[in-house]
Amino acid sequence: MSSTLGSSIGKKLLMSLSGLFLIMFLVVHLTVNSFLLIPDGGEFFNAGAHFMATTPAIRLIEPLLAIGFLVHILWGVKLTIENRRARGNARYASGKKTTGVTWASQNMLVLGITVGAFLVLHIAQFWVKMKLTGDPLLDHTTISIGGVETEVENAYALVNTTFSYLWIVVVYVIGAIGLAIHLSHGFWSAFQTIGFSNEIWRKRLTVLGNIFAWLMGLGFSLIAVLQYFFYQG
């Protein structure tokens, strides 16, 4: 097993599987975020956040998610360092004029760092407040879940207030676009690495990957922007 994961393809397999796992997380995250757009004063979103915070299965997955992020980041850096060494120090004086290679595919680390930097801010603004320090905005509110009156944290108030600052919305949009470009290569590349690709599927996966990438990127951006413009006060 160690020789498998230590090999070049094995290391890439870890990048691929952790990437696909994070992609699934993004889908769940965007789904819950989309509740922010329901104009009910955040009741449905609070119910969603309550479900995510209390369901045992999801609480079990949370550490797994942290591991997924860590593996993806650590191996991404490790592979980049190895690849720079394999490339050698000499550079081409006449540059690189190869056409048809996407910018994203050659800048995955830079894009990853962009998303990672955003992630630090994002975790500090929400996860830390919800899980560790608490925040006055999170004061309990009572909502009706399936007709049952339930007391939950007012996650909506925290999100809504956070998105009332223009600079935060701008940073979120930059992070989301960085994510979209990262995914525009990462999605199909993950399938290629596990061997699920050929002449036909490469085209399908590239198209699918681009649609997925921009659905994620624009979805997250749009929710933040709409919150800033139309859901304040």
Does 202 help bind another protein (rule: CB under 8 A)? yes
Does 105 help bind another protein (rule: CB under 8 A)? yes
Does 199 help bind another protein (rule: CB under 8 A)? yes
Does 185 help bind another protein (rule: CB under 8 A)? yes
For residues 55 and 60, give the distance between their C-alpha atoms in angstroms, rounded to a whole number: 9
Smallest separation, CB 91 to another protein (Å): 7
Look at residues 61, 50, 55 and name the one whose alpha carbon lies nearest to residue 42: 50
Q: Could you say which of 60, 98, 133, 166 contacts another protein (CB under 8 A)?
A: 98
Nearer to another protein, 89 or 133 (CB): 89
Structure token pair of residue 164: 């009332």
Residue in the structure block whose two tokens are 């922010």: 36
Q: Could you say which of 10, 27, 54, 139 contacts another protein (CB under 8 A)?
A: 10
CA-atom Rg of the chain in angstroms: 20
Look at residues 114, 119, 107, 126 and name the one whose alpha carbon lies nearest to residue 36: 126
Residue in the structure block whose two tokens are 């449905």: 44
The type of residue at 102 is T
Q: Could you say which of 60, 91, 148, 167 contacts another protein (CB under 8 A)?
A: 91
Look at residues 14, 211, 23, 35 and name the one whose alpha carbon lies nearest to residue 115: 23
Which part of the chain contacts another protein (CB under 8 A), choosing from 32-40, 63-71, 90-98, 213-221?
90-98
For residues 183 and 186, give the distance between their C-alpha atoms in angstroms, rounded to a whole number: 4
Smallest separation, CB 200 to another protein (Å): 9
- Binding residues vs another protein (CB under 8 A): 3-4, 7-13, 79, 82-83, 85-88, 90-102, 105-106, 108, 185, 188-189, 192-199, 202
